[in-house]
Amino acid sequence: MMAALGFTLANRGPHGLPRSGFADWDDTLNVDTARAWPRASGCAMQFCRAVLDLAELADHLGRPEEAARFKSMHDEMARAINACAWDGSWYARSFDDDGKAHRVSSEARHRINLIPQSWCVIGEVAPLERAKLAMASSHELLDTPYGPA
């Protein structure tokens, strides 16, 4: 687990978010360029959840210094996410090689993606009002009679 955390922390882009690698788990964020890896806010939020879980485990094992270090990792990544990925009503999905945010309100299509809106809550990244607004935006823009788009 520590090697995975170290890899994630060592492979971040200019915004401080983890690079996605060749392709993200659910879509190929980088098919348009080969210059560098895109950065995905959802991956950063998953990292936040993982280190919170590790902090809880360290607390349970009586290792308060490790728990504090994991919580510090969470706080640092959450700050990075909130500094660059908040689009006013929801979180951007990713950033490309040029630092341009994707799945944001300025895009004509696919302006919002459910992944970062869900993970901002699961990863305890979003302040309460942002979490509520991100979820409300998801419901408003992604709900269909068959489930979220």
Of all residues in the chain, the percent with pLDDT exceeding 90 is 64
C-alpha pair distances (Å), 40 with each of 13, 18, 67, 127: 10, 7, 25, 19
Contact between 27 and 56 under an 8 Å Cβ cutoff? The reply is: no
Compute the CA torsion angle 127, 96, 115, 129 (nearest 10 deg). Answer: 20
Look over the chain and give the mean of its residue pLDDT values, rounded to a whole number: 89
Q: What are phi and psi of 102, to 5 degrees?
A: -120, 155
Residue 34 has pLDDT above 80, yes or no: no
Q: C-alpha angle with apex 128: 124 to 129, nearest 5 degrees?
A: 140
Q: Return the minimum-mean-pLDDT range out of 34-43, 47-56, 124-133, 136-145.
A: 34-43
For 62-104, the pLDDT digits (tens) are 999 999 999 999 999 999 999 999 999 999 988 887 788 888 8
Please give the sequence-ordered ranges of beta strands (E in DSSP) within the chain, or none if there are none. 39-40, 94-95, 101-102, 143-144, 147-148
Instruction: For the full predicted model, state whether its pTM sits above 0.85.
Output: yes
Cβ density class 51-67: b for 16+ within 10 Å, e for less: bbebbeebeeeeeeebb
Q: What is the pLDDT of residue 139?
A: 95
For 124-146, the pLDDT digits (tens) are 999 999 999 999 999 999 999 99
Q: d(Cα 146, Cα 44) in Å, to the nearest integer? A: 29
Q: What is the DSSP code (8-state) at residue 101? A: E
Higher pLDDT, 23 or 87: 87
